[in-house]
Amino acid sequence: MTKRAYKYRFYPTPEQAELLARTFGCVRSVYNRILRWRTDAFYQEQKKIGYTAASSRLTALKKQPELAFLNEVSAVPLQQCLRHQQAAFKNFFEGRAKYPVFKKKRHRQSAEFTSSAFRYRDGKLFLAKCDEPLAIRWSRPLPGEPSTVTISRDSAGRYFVSCLCEFEPEALPVTPKTIGIDMGIKDLFVTSEGERIGNPRHTAKYATRLARAQRRLSKKKLGSENRAKARLKVARIHAKISDCRADSLHKLSRRLINENQVVCAETLAVKNMIRNPKLSKAIADAGWGELTRQIQYKGEWAGRQIVQIDRWYPCSKRCACCGHILERLPLDVRRWSCPECGTEHDRDVNAAINIKAAGLAVLALGENVSGMGQVSVSCSQ
């Protein structure tokens, strides 16, 4: 058994929206106050504060007269935000993340409820201190009763509920088909079979509308209602772009997993590549990292094998027929001929074929090697 989050959109009543707004505000206030307290304690007294001390601090804050509003909402989300903060500090000290930052009012708001702070009965979800069930748009059924529920509101003002449930992954039938994919900008990826999946370029599609909305926002008076309306329009366009990209990537990753037993891909350092000032927007819009992440976890659920080739493997410069490696291959050269065997290659298709061959070789030999013309991979199944 493993856990999976099921996310749905819901439409709160005015009373529920008010309660959630107060809950989000209290969670944000507690998180920021405890974070400031822990940061000051470390820099002024060289003292590290743990979760137990932070929880005691929360109890003291709720007793202060000026913070009496913290008692008006459920205590569970306040306690959970401290657990999340503790996890953020753990990731920071172990080198997996940056130092925790303060929560902002205009960014995404969220509150997590454990089983003691909600009721799920007959397909209806009731939150603590709320008499009516949430009007959830159930796009698919839950596999069981959720263990935790996370309520969130994005910058566009939309409300979502994420239910964490246990489920049993079902392996897909074994298929003999294997594939290698080479990711790019003009085409999102090219397969070893020569199929090209075009890049939708969602940001470019909405660039004119987004620029117009941002110009109008910049001319509004700070703090005015018109500025709040203009900011909401900009946020909705960003949400539309994000939703379109996520929908496209989910469909493509599901197709790759359903049709192939083995998927071979490159290991791309997207954070380093995005520093290129000319290509940063196009790289960010393509979503290579998210596509790879989806292929990984969906492959594990379906019993597929995912092989990632070392980023230094010369898949584009290596001839898929004879193995000759070019000394140099500029990015603007899309087709080239091998000086050894004379085979003419399409750059992307040749790279995808080499990625597939390298991944299958490692699966067959069970060796992880590195060097010019060799590969180092990470394999999950």
Return the active site residues: 182, 266, 348
Buried b (16+ CB within 10 A) or exposed e, 90-123: eeeeeeeeeebeebeeeeebbbbbbeebbebeee
Give, in order, the Cα–Cα distances in Å from 264 to each of 90, 127, 239: 33, 44, 31
Tokens for 258? 């359903």
341 alpha-carbon distance from chain centroid: 44
Find out whether 10 and 160 touch, Cβ atoms under 8 Å.
yes
Long-range pairs, 66-71, Cβ under 8 A, ≥24 = 67/29, 69/22, 69/26, 70/26, 70/29, 70/30
Find out whether 264 and 355 touch, Cβ atoms under 8 Å.
yes
Question: Checking phi first, is residue 180 left (phi over 0); if not, alpha (psi -120 to 50) or beta?
Answer: beta
How far apart (Å, rounded) are the C-alpha atoms in residues 151 and 123? 17
Tokens for 20? 């959630």
Q: At what angle are helices 225-259 and 288-302 packed, to 10 degrees?
A: 50
C-alpha distance across the termini of the chain, in Å: 16
Find out whether 334 and 298 touch, Cβ atoms under 8 Å.
no
Amino acid at 177: K
Residue with tokens 């709320």: 130
Closest residue by Cα to residue 359 from 375, 372, 344, 348: 375
Find out whether 358 and 367 touch, Cβ atoms under 8 Å.
no
Beta strand 187-191 with 178-183 is antiparallel
